[in-house]
Structure 1
């Protein structure tokens, strides 16, 4: 059972880091980006995207660990799927995997990829619609991530003793 506790701690920490990143964007980065002109926005956003994607042990690794590691206790404790721990972990995993992971890959990343193709000196005339769509999507995934994080913290107090 110690392996379940250690793995639970690791992915809960990862989900918390991701929640903090999304919250930072929601409360600090996005409001700052909203004050920029089209050319300034294109330059800054492209650098943010490149910076977050370039660091291999950063966001991508943490997010993948947080998406995959919960499968270990869910599989190992399959016979105990009636317990609060298993159900809270399963719900937290579903929210993080689909509500943050798949959501980000399917919706936010395509916008990022489009922004990366812009010429910063002459952004498209509809640049604000891409910015607003990304911001709206982030406003959805941020509370989903926080709920997942809270469920994993709660689940930590429910780990079976055996």
Structure 2
């Protein structure tokens, strides 16, 4: 029962985070990509403070970090080398690498840089930070989509 709860919560959290990143990469990137320097800076000054501190982010990332270990404990030693265990553990690695490490170590410093700009006079090299924002979002998205697929596969392997 514990394994099913952990796997179910992992699938739901990874699915919701995947959808969030799908929105950012396929809707917001093109929208912000059409902006000039001042437009991009102004939009990011509106967007980032809300996006950075959204309770949704905290809840989903916490669930992505807590639910897979719950599933692993539920799967236990007997299934430690089984497909469900390996898939879940690999999904956990992907979520730690994506939503946690890339966000904390790469994206957050870039956000601080962007928010430090005067929106009416962004730096001449503003596109470097914009391109980093794109890359970080795509890296997190890819890792989260992989984690989602792994958690789904683990659920199937465990229940199937």
TM-score w.r.t. length of structure 1: 0.90
> Within the alignment, does 1:90 sit opposite 2:109 as a pair?
no
33, 50, 63: which one pairs with 2:61?
A: 63
Shift of 1:95: 0.9
Q: CA RMSD in A?
A: 1.6
Distance 1:23 1:131, change over 3 A: same
Shift of 1:19: 0.9
- Contact 1:8/1:156 (<8 A) preserved: yes
1:9-158 alignment runs, 5 A limit? 9-56=8-55, 58-79=56-77, 80-158=79-157
> Which whole-Å CA distance do the structure 1 matches of 2:106 and 2:12 have between them?
25
Structure 1, gaps ≥5 residues long: none
Shift of 1:160: 6.1
The number of equivalent residue pairs is 159
Shift of 1:156: 0.7
Q: Point out 4+ residue stretches in structure 1 off by more than 4 angstroms.
A: none
- Contact 1:85/1:160 (<8 A) preserved: no
Shift of 1:109: 1.2
Q: Which has the higher helix share?
A: 2
> Which whole-Å CA distance do the structure 1 matches of 2:34 and 2:54 have between them?
27
Q: Which moved more, 1:58-67 or 1:47-56?
A: 47-56
